[in-house]
Amino acid sequence: MSLIFISLLILIAVFAPLIVKYDPLEQNLTDRLLPPSKKYIFGTDDLGRDVFSRVVYGTKISLSVGIIAVGISTVIGIMLGLAAGFFGKTIDTVIMRFVDICLCFPTFFLLLMVIAFLEPNIYNVMIVIGITSWPSITRLIRGEVLSIRERDFILAAKINGISTLRILFVHILPNTIGPILVNATLGIGGAILTESALSFLGLGVQPPIPSWGNILTIGKDYIHLAWWLSLFPGLAIFFTVLFFNLLGEGLRDIFDPKY
């Protein structure tokens, strides 16, 4: 079910121009704050823009942020986790103490601090979420590598003179794919939620580019007058994060049946 929903979201993001009837940036002040109807199935906002079109285009923004941000954090986490777990000793100590320091800071406040010094746009949001999310992945990969490096096939590879890079990326990394996929799937949901929160606060994707978070920002100003401005983007965020988390749980059951 979760895989079907996420596949549908991806199709919506890819074929957004074919799905919507109105330009999400087009303003029509004569139709401002209209409730859902046959003409505007999700209603209109304070500038007369079609909310359905904006929510559909916001799907592309949210998925892009989630996937790219998690991709950045996963690459960083894999590199540092492999190095810490395989080489151990001083390298492990330095990396893990740095991880501990990073984990001492509340992630969202760290995000706010970094974004405050940068221009708030979609690219900076992707990068900042990515570079603040790697510590947990690093710890996960390090734990897996510590277990794998003591197995017989790794010892045999070392005895046969196989290079360290080949051992890391051909023998060890493929055996950590399961936890990486589970963590990445759960991370996408978290990244989407974080982007929505930043956009809601005005520090994420900037208007007029449609984002679920900045649609909610408009909705809070008209919560008693135009409930649809908060309901539809809120439901989009809720179900997207929910199904990404369910997919992550399903993958964990597949790769680690003991759960």
User: Is residue 1 a part of any domain in this protein?
Assistant: no
Q: How far apart are CA 116 and CA 139, in angstroms?
A: 28
- For residue 2, tell me if it sits in a domain: no
Is 222 part of a structural domain of the chain?
A: yes
Look at residue 175 and tell me if it is in a domain. Answer: yes
Instruction: Tell me if 30 is assigned to some domain.
Output: no
CATH of residue 110's domain is 1.10.3720.10
Residue-number span of the structural domain to which 165 is assigned: 38-255
Residue 14 within a domain: no
Segments in the chain forming alpha helices (H): 2-14, 16-19, 51-87, 89-104, 107-116, 122-131, 134-148, 152-159, 164-166, 177-200, 212-221, 228-255
Please check whether residue 55 lies inside any domain of the structure. Answer: yes
Q: What is the pTM of this model?
A: 0.86
pLDDT digits (tens, 9 = 90+) for 1-14: 778 888 888 898 88
Per-residue confidence in pLDDT tens, the chain, 259 aa: 778 888 888 898 888 888 888 888 888 888 888 899 888 999 998 888 999 999 999 898 888 888 999 999 999 999 999 999 888 888 889 999 998 888 887 777 777 777 777 777 788 888 888 888 888 899 989 988 988 888 888 888 888 888 888 888 888 888 888 888 888 888 888 888 888 888 887 777 888 888 888 888 888 888 888 889 989 999 999 999 888 888 888 887 777 655 4
Total structural domains in the chain? Answer: 1
Whether residue 133 lies inside any domain: the answer is yes
